[in-house]
Amino acid sequence: MKYGRDEIEWEELRAAARRCLIELAEDQVITDYSSLNRRLVDDTGFAPFDFNLDRDRAAIGALLGEISRESYADCGVMLSVLVTHRGGTDEGAGFYRLATDLGALPARPSPAQKDTFMSDQVMRSWDLYRRR
């Protein structure tokens, strides 16, 4: 079990989240965690993540992290860049830690390096998946 979800549920959530992120990239938009959460409920029928619980906040981060590890290895794009905090335009600390782990950012990136990386990742995801 991962974060209270069995393996089948976790994999279905991961697949649904990946499809959603690709659709966002195709449409050249970003979303927030709450909107993604609602979409996952609609697409899978599974219980929503409860962001009041540490476990569920960690779970959505882990889910997006798995997707980004895979997409970065495949095409150099961290698809989770398309999910931000509601009302914000920046990524969470986990996004930048993962970018560092992947070697995409230095160990202690400056705010400017983070901004440049985030903007580049958004544009690259949009370019890669743009509806033609």
Residue 1 in any domain: the answer is no
The answer as to whether 123 is a domain residue is yes
In this structure, is residue 75 part of a structural domain?
yes
The DSSP secondary structure of 42-60, one letter per residue, reads: HHH-PPPP-TTSHHHHHHH
How many domains would you assign to the chain? 1
- Angle at Cα 75 formed by Cα 58 and Cα 27, nearest 5°? 75
Tens digits of per-residue pLDDT, 29-39?
A: 999 999 999 99
Mean pLDDT over 50-76 rounds to 97
What pLDDT score does 132 carry?
61
Is 58 a member of any domain? yes
Its domain, for residue 12, covers 7-129
